[in-house]
Amino acid sequence: MDFCLTTDALCKQYGHFKALHNLSMHVPKGSIYGFVGKNGAGKTTLIRLICGLQKPTAGGYSLYGIKNTEDKIVKSRRRMGAVVESPSIYSDLTAEENLKEQYQILGIPSFENIPELLKLVGLENTGNKKAKNFSLGMKQRLGIAIALAGEPDFLVLDEPVNGLDPQGIIEMRELILKLNRERQITVLISSHILDELSRLATHYGFIDNGHIVKEISARELESACRKCMRIQVSDTKILSRVLDSMDIEYEVLSNTLADVYAKINVSQLVLTLADEKCDIISVQEHDESLESYYVSLVGGNAHE
C-alpha cells in the first residue's frame, strides 16, 4: 500500500510535557483518514510538525516517501494543503481577493482558475462581501479554497466542523467527499466529533496521550462494530452450550450477558433454554458506534 504520510516513533516534547510519544501512523493515498482523539491528545501537534511549523524532538516522518530530514521534504510538502486550527484569511478582503493573495504568495502567475475554485467550495456568489462578514462555515470553506490554491493532492484539516451549525456540517462533509472522490485528494481530518467522522472516513487512527492506540480501516471497524442481538439470561454457560449446538456465533460478555451474531428464532431459543432451566431476561439489538469503540480503546469521554 502506498502512503501519503508515515511517522516513525515521532516525539515532540515541551519542557517536561510529552505532546507526542513514539507516534507511528500511516495515511494511505486516496483515503479519508480520521485522526481521532480527545482535545489535548496531540492531534494539532502532529499536524504542525508535518506542515513544517515545528520540528520533532525525536523520531521522524515521511511525506510521499521523503523523510523530514531530507532537503527534498520542502518540495514534497508543497503537495500538501492545510487548514490548521483556524482558517488563515484576510478579514477585510473578499473571497476572490483572498485567493489572489494566496496565488501571489505561491508564485502562481494566472488568476484564471480562481472562479472554478470558488465554485468548488460554494463561494462563487459572494461577490464584494468581505470575509469578516462570512458565516463560520463560509470562512472554513474559504480556508479550504486557500489550502487548495496550489493544487495539492494531500489536504490536512484540523477540526473542520468545530462550531459549525448542522447545515454548515453537511456542506463541509459534501465538500470533503467531493474533493476525495472527484479529485482523488487524500484527506487527513483531525476531529473529536466522532459521529460526523464516521460518515466520511475510510481509515482511522486513534490517538491518546500522544500515542497511536490503534489504526483500522472503516471496513475493519464496521466488522468490529457489527450489529448483534444482546441477550441477557440467567446463565450464559447454558446459553453457550445451546448456541454451540445450533452452530451460531456468539461472544460471552459476563455470567448473564452475551452477544449473538446471527438472526435467531427467539421463540425456539426461549423454548430450548427453558428445557435447560435457563431463563431469557431480555433481548435487544445492539450496534456499537464509533464513539463507544473509541471509548473502549482509550476510556473516558470521547467529547472531552
Q: DSSP string spanning the chain?
A: --EEEEEEEEEEEETTEEEEEEE--EEETT-EEEEE--TTSSHHHHHHHHTTSS--SEEEEEETTEETTSTTHHHHHTTEEEE-SS----TTSBHHHHHHHHHHHHT----TTHHHHHHHTT-TT-TT-BGGGS-HHHHHHHHHHHHTTT--SEEEEESTTTT--HHHHHHHHHHHHHHHHHH--EEEEEES-HHHHTTT-SEEEEEETTEEEEEEEHHHHHHHT--EEEEEES-HHHHHHHHHHTT--EEE-SSSEEEE-S---HHHHHHHHHHTT--EEEEEEE---HHHHHHHHH-S-TT-
30 φψ region: left (φ > 0), alpha (ψ -120 to 50), beta (else): left
According to the model, what pLDDT value does residue 304 have?
43
- How many whole angstroms separate alpha carbon 7 and alpha carbon 24? 5
**249 to 191, 240, 258, 268, 282: CA distances (angstroms):** 34, 10, 11, 17, 19
Q: What's 226-287's CATH class?
A: alpha beta
According to the model, what pLDDT value does residue 288 have?
66
Cell of 51: 506542515
Pairing label, strands 80-83, 154-158 = parallel
Q: Which CATH superfamily is domain 3-79+152-223 in?
A: P-loop containing nucleotide triphosphate hydrolases (3.40.50.300)
Residue 223, number of CB atoms within 10 A of its CB: 10
Series of mean pLDDT values for 10-residue runs along the chain (304 residues): 94 95 96 92 93 95 95 93 87 96 93 94 94 93 94 94 88 94 95 85 94 93 79 95 91 92 86 93 81 77 48
**23 to 12, 156, 179: CA distances (angstroms):** 9, 18, 28
Residue 259, number of CB atoms within 10 A of its CB: 17
Question: Is there a common fold for 3-79+152-223 and 226-287?
Answer: no
Q: Where are the domains of the chain?
A: 3-79+152-223, 226-287
According to the model, what pLDDT value does residue 300 have?
58
Sign of CA dihedral 170, 194, 41, 6: negative
